[in-house]
Amino acid sequence: MIIDKIAASAGLARFASFVYTSVSTGEVARYTLQLGFNYRNCLEKSRLSLEIDAPGLTGIDAQAAAELLASIDASLAGTQTGYTKAETYVDALDANGKVVPGVKRNLNDGSLQIFGLLHSKVQIAPPTIERKEVQSRPLTIAKVKIRQGLPIGKFREFALENLSTARINGETLELA
């Protein structure tokens, strides 16, 4: 049913609200996100923002910005080799066999993934699973920090089976 709602408004940017349970942490949160966005436009806006901000950066932040810019350029050119999920997802199809924008099927487990740009997050229940602390390289930490400030830093992926409630186009869908 949620796929039908998303498909019915294909090509339109709209907001949706999801109550989502994280598999990795057990946290339950309400996410408001934008569906129907154009990822290429998001990359272009991120590139422009990074070009404006990068000249003011120094040291490891300047290196991180340069590497992020190169990665965005590769994505825009279709030459990205660092994408780790290239063989994981295929377009999801509606009942008529048409591609549903913003929804992909995971080839590994058959699950459906919904993609959107994060607008807000409100925690409903705290995490129940303790995450192990991972030591990242300083360059990785700098890239993450810079990326979070870019439009592409708002890009999120949600597994449909972890949604309990979705509100799209003014209609509430109870999924669990």
Is the per-residue pLDDT at 66 higher than 80?
A: yes
Question: Which tops the pLDDT comparison, 133 or 125?
Answer: 125
Least confident stretch, 16-20, 35-39, 63-67, 150-154:
35-39
What is the pLDDT at residue 176? Answer: 46
> Average pLDDT, stretch 52-63?
96
Query: Which pLDDT does position 50 carry in this prediction?
Result: 96
What is the pTM assigned to this prediction? Answer: 0.80
φ/ψ of 25, rounded to 5, equals -125, -20
pLDDT of amino acid 43: 96
* Residue whose pair of structure tokens reads 């295929």 in the numeric block: 90
Query: Residue ranges of the domains in the chain?
Result: 2-174
* Between 63 and 9, residue with greater pLDDT: 63
Identify the pLDDT of residue 14. 76
Mean predicted confidence (pLDDT) in 118-124: 95
Give the range among 39-48, 103-112, 113-122, 151-160 with minimum mean pLDDT: 103-112
Which residue, 145, 116, 169, is CA-closest to 53? 145
Distance from the Cα of residue 101 to its chain's centroid = 13
